[in-house]
Amino acid sequence: MRAISSFPDPEQPATGRIPPEVEVGLYRNMLRVRNAEETLAALYREKEMRTPTHFGVGQEGVAVGVCEALLPGDVVYTHHRCHTHYLAKGGSLLGLVAELYGREDGCSRGRGGSVHLTDRSVGLMGSSPILGQGVALAVGSALAFKMDGASTVAVSFFGEGTCDEGVVYESFNYASVNKLPVLLVCENNFYATESPLETRQPSGTRLCDRARAFQISAEKVDGNDVAAVYEAAQRALARIRAGEGPQFLECETYRWLEHVGPMFDHELARTYRTREEVEAWMQRCPVKRAGHRLLARGLATQAGLDEWRREVVDEMTAVVAQAKASPWPDPSTLFENVY
């Protein structure tokens, strides 16, 4: 099990001292994101959603942990696996669901689909399926913030496969030389489409060392431990806001579903990774782990966790009905906002 043998190897585990209200918020946000994506994945099989969809089920700890540490005015750029980041940054559930159904109430008014979520009102500046683009754009935003003397931070979420793109290193270099306020968050889920990390990078490669080569300080964290991600993001953001320039976080995590689409790989008899490996990572479920910690800290009861679950299910049920009732975009507006 390739992706298991290298895990876990965080540089700093969670301290266990997160304020209770934050710990509860991290759990409830992850639960909401998980339920939204699992519901969408189930509905996707009805073939009413026609957009190619990359689910982030299993990776919620990264989006929620980082976004919880941000200030509302901070901005986020992401790539194709973007639902988690949109919701974690405060995006509208209806905006997400209606976008996947191609409706006018979608955050991109039904024109973008799953890989083009954008919502300036919550600082989700853009999602792009072009790997590396979200890194360059975040660095550009960070340059603007620095020139304006603002304390705002730009965040880029990208996969470890995106670290194989040249533009990423041009962006790292520029951000470092100019000490730009950008947080570079690499979600290392060990695969790019169906290609494992070890077949793409020389053995022993450490992604953090790539950032350090540009004098960017870097930290590796257990991405399935939302508290550890939150604390690492807080440390990195404090350094950025102190003027120390870009920071890199490598968050090790794992995607449960196929690369694009709602199925498990084993349902399609895919062989690029084993069912045992997927199931071993499902045992490390970030949502369950956070729930166990709440119980252990006495911050929730099992009945309380069940009640929160019912709340997110009810919210999602209502939003799906609303999205399906939302109007289609008027064809006469097809060329609006096209540049």
Ligand X SMILES: Cc1ncc(C[n+]2csc(CCOP(=O)(O)OP(=O)(O)O)c2C)c(N)n1
Binding interface with ligand X (CB under 6 A): 80-81, 129-132, 158-162, 165, 189, 191-193, 259
Query: In the complex, what is the shortest distance from the CB of residue 13 to Mg ion, in angstroms, rounded to a whole number?
Result: 23
According to CB under 5 A, which one of 110, 161, 181, 245 is a site residue for Mg ion? 161
Query: In the complex, what is the shortest distance from the CB of residue 214 to ligand X, in angstroms, rounded to a whole number?
Result: 19
Residue 223 makes contact with Mg ion by CB under 5 A = no
Span of 72-80, 120-128, 158-166, 295-303 interacting with Mg ion by CB under 5 A: 158-166
Cis bond upstream, residue 72 (ω within 30): no
Residue 162 makes contact with Mg ion by CB under 5 A = no
Q: Are 184 and 248 in contact (CB under 8 A)?
A: yes
Residue 58 makes contact with Mg ion by CB under 5 A = no
Handedness of CA 113, 119, 123, 125 (dihedral sign): positive
User: Residue 114 — left, alpha, or beta (φ > 0 → left; ψ -120 to 50 → alpha)?
Assistant: alpha
| CA-wise closest residue to 228 among 256, 197, 253, 254 | 253
**Which tokens in the block code for residue 214?**
């540009």
Which residues lie below 8 Å from residue 85, measured CB to CB, with a gap of 6+?
63, 67, 76, 78, 124, 127, 157
Query: In the complex, what is the shortest distance from the CB of residue 132 to ligand X, in angstroms, rounded to a whole number?
Result: 6
| Binds 315: which of Mg ion, ligand X, none (CB < 5-8 Å by kind) | none
Q: Are 142 and 153 in contact (CB under 8 A)?
A: yes
d(CA 60, CA 72): 19
**Which tokens in the block code for residue 176?**
């470092």
Residue among 156 and 162 whose Cβ is closer to ligand X: 162
Single-letter amino acid, residue 16: G
Residue 181 makes contact with Mg ion by CB under 5 A = no
| CA-wise closest residue to 251 among 206, 168, 188, 164 | 188
Span of 138-146, 186-194, 287-295, 309-317 interacting with Mg ion by CB under 5 A: 186-194
Residue among 122 and 185 whose Cβ is closer to ligand X: 185
Residue among 129 and 304 whose Cβ is closer to ligand X: 129
280: how many CB neighbours lie within 10 A of its CB? 15
| Binds 130: which of ligand X, Mg ion, none (CB < 5-8 Å by kind) | ligand X
| Binds 337: which of ligand X, Mg ion, none (CB < 5-8 Å by kind) | none
Query: In the complex, what is the shortest distance from the CB of residue 320 to Mg ion, in angstroms, rounded to a whole number?
Result: 28
Query: In the complex, what is the shortest distance from the CB of residue 260 to ligand X, in angstroms, rounded to a whole number?
Result: 8
**Which tokens in the block code for residue 219?**
């930290």
Query: In the complex, what is the shortest distance from the CB of residue 160 to Mg ion, in angstroms, rounded to a whole number?
Result: 5
Binding site for Mg ion (CB under 5 A): 159-161, 189, 192
